[in-house]
Amino acid sequence: MFYLASASPRRRELLTQIGVQFKLAPVDIDETPQPGEDAKRYVERLALEKAQTALASLNDPEEAVVLGSDTSVIIDNQIRTKPHSAADAKRMLQQLSGNRHQVFTAVAVISQQQQKVISVATDVVFRTLSETEIDAYIATGEPMDKAGSYGIQGKGAILVDHIHGSYSNVVGLPLTETAALLTEFSIKVWSEDQQG
């Protein structure tokens, strides 16, 4: 059985989009960056820890394959996770306004026999935002559970001028790379029967 170690509705939607059957096994881990940890190492560590934690919690770990994933926004060499408050979200959006940043997503797929971790980076360029726009966007509530305080697949789409790279990576799961990884673990994509 294949499990998704995430409560993210976006990751559920993306896996469903490519016809992957899965069960949910969300986990809660400490997502604090370690001292001196760069973005790639950070998201890869968290993705793997999520998958390992979920696998250890299952009743049938011998038969299970688990996917863990983590997404972070990087600007000025700083890791930007989910905002802690509206004020924090505002600071992040002001920093992103008119600037280029990177979105890193790591995907870890593990079983008791093997584990693979990959990460993908996408460049995102924001248009210049007014303070009124930033406040109005925060008032929608959408930024509060998103890395970097925005969701490209939602209302935040109008904040983005353009991207270079994988769109689904910015949403939270790079589908091309994820599908290839799942195939290595004999997890089918484009399956006719879906479940979530």
pLDDT in tens, 182-193: 999 999 999 765
pLDDT in tens, 114-142: 999 999 999 999 999 999 999 999 999 99
CATH number at residue 47: 3.90.950.10
Give the pLDDT confidence score for residue 77 in this predicted structure. 85
Length of the chain: 196
What are the backbone angles phi and psi of residue 39, rounded to the nearest 5°?
-60, -45
19 in helix, strand or coil? coil
pLDDT in tens, 30-67: 999 999 999 999 999 999 999 999 999 999 899 999 99
User: Is 132 part of a structural domain of the chain?
Assistant: yes
User: Is 193 part of a structural domain of the chain?
Assistant: no
User: Is 177 part of a structural domain of the chain?
Assistant: yes
pLDDT in tens, 133-177: 999 999 999 999 999 999 999 999 999 999 999 999 999 999 999
User: Is 160 part of a structural domain of the chain?
Assistant: yes
Give the pLDDT confidence score for residue 192 in this predicted structure. 65
User: Is 196 part of a structural domain of the chain?
Assistant: no
pTM for the model stands at 0.92
Those residues whose C-beta lies under 8 Å from the C-beta of residue 183, and which sit 6 or more positions away, are 189
Q: Which structural domain range is residue 153 located in?
A: 2-184
Give the pLDDT confidence score for residue 24 in this predicted structure. 97
DSSP-based helix, strand, coil % in the chain, nearest 5: 40, 25, 35
pLDDT for 194 beyond 60: no
Active centre residues (catalytic) = 70
pLDDT band at 15 (very low <50, low <70, confident <90, very high): very high
User: Is 15 part of a structural domain of the chain?
Assistant: yes
User: Is 190 part of a structural domain of the chain?
Assistant: no
Domain count, the chain: 1
User: Is 55 part of a structural domain of the chain?
Assistant: yes
